[in-house]
Amino acid sequence: MNESAFKKDLDIEKCKQMIYFANIGFTNQILNEIRNSQSDNIDIEHITKQISGHIDDLRKIFCTPNKKQGVKQENQKKEGTDK
């Protein structure tokens, strides 16, 4: 984890712990959805999009935007894929 990407006024260790707990929650939610599904097929693409969305949101909360992230977010807004 690139600690230099965190916003300067945050306690990095606490942030890493919150990110860890959030990821456990995301994983448990996805596992429950799979367990409760009537289908034998797992939609990996859907799961990957869900996880990517959560990670992007965590970056917005904890990280200082860099030019590359800012361009990506602007492109997503233009394309309507920033959800």
Query: What confidence tens digit (pLDDT) does each residue in 31-60 have?
Result: 999 999 988 889 999 999 999 999 999 999
DSSP annotation of 10 reads S
DSSP annotation of 4 reads G
**What is the number of structural domains in the chain?**
1
pTM of the entire predicted model: 0.67
Q: Average pLDDT of 66-76?
A: 55
Instruction: Determine the structural domain holding residue 35 and report its residue range.
Output: 9-79
- Domain membership of residue 61 (yes or no) is yes
- Domain membership of residue 3 (yes or no) is no
> What pLDDT is attached to residue 66?
76
Q: What is the mean pLDDT of the chain?
A: 85
Q: Average pLDDT of 1-18?
A: 93
Q: Average pLDDT of 2-8?
A: 91
- Domain membership of residue 21 (yes or no) is yes
Confidence of residue 71 (pLDDT cuts 50, 70, 90): very low
**Alpha carbon distance 38, 33 (integer Å):** 10
